[in-house]
Amino acid sequence: MTVNKSRFLLSSLALLLFTSGALAKPWRGIVPLRSTRAQVRKLLGKPIVGGEGVLDLYDLEEGRVHVMYARQPCEEGLPADWGNWRVPRDTVVNISIHLHQEIPVKQLRIRNLEQYKWYTGASGATYYHDRIRGLEYQVQDGMVTAITYGPTRRDRRLLCKQNVPLIR
């Protein structure tokens, strides 16, 4: 198989995984605020970095995967959707995939993408957050460089305190 054909197949597979995951919400069977560290490790194996802390790292075909876990129920003052959830310790809070092969944002075919714009960071990356589906896209120069699967709007019932501001 040629290199170009391999890249095309890998890009197509990644796009299918990410867009179908966007509709189904779980990523590879891992569901934020429901799955546990033990379930993640059963699915993905031993992390390249991890232990009993808040983060496990995996280096998979599609990218570097960061799985963040709750440290304790109802913890506040943490970035984005990480804390303030009524879930047990070691429950998945979000999954971020930092893509090895970037995807043109246009290939995701997200209607009215600008309505999801959250902020643009100092690096120039713009973050788009679809709170209904719990998806966040990191986009730089028209290319999706990372996708985060987190709590959905439906999950708000698991918030310990409502209307706590999101911290980036």
Confidence category of residue 24, pLDDT binned at 50, 70, 90: very low
Q: Are 144 and 138 in contact (CB under 8 A)?
A: yes
- 161 vs 137 pLDDT, higher one: 137
User: Which stretch, 17-31, 64-78, 86-100, 149-163, has highest mean pLDDT?
Assistant: 86-100
β-pair partners for 68: 55, 94
Whether pLDDT at 50 is above 80: yes
Q: Are 134 and 155 in contact (CB under 8 A)?
A: yes
Whether pLDDT at 9 is above 60: no
Contacts for 72 with CB less than 8 Å, ≥ 6 apart: 89
Contacts for 135 with CB less than 8 Å, ≥ 6 apart: 22, 129, 147, 148, 149, 150
pLDDT on residue 51: 84
pLDDT on residue 17: 43
Average confidence score pLDDT of the chain: 84
Confidence category of residue 22, pLDDT binned at 50, 70, 90: very low
Residue 80 Ramachandran class (φ > 0 left, ψ -120 to 50 alpha, else beta): left
Whether pLDDT at 8 is above 60: no
**In this structure, how many other beta carbons lie within 10 angstroms of the beta carbon of residue 28?**
16
Q: Are 113 and 105 in contact (CB under 8 A)?
A: yes
What percent of the chain is modeled with pLDDT above 70? 79
pTM score over 0.85: no
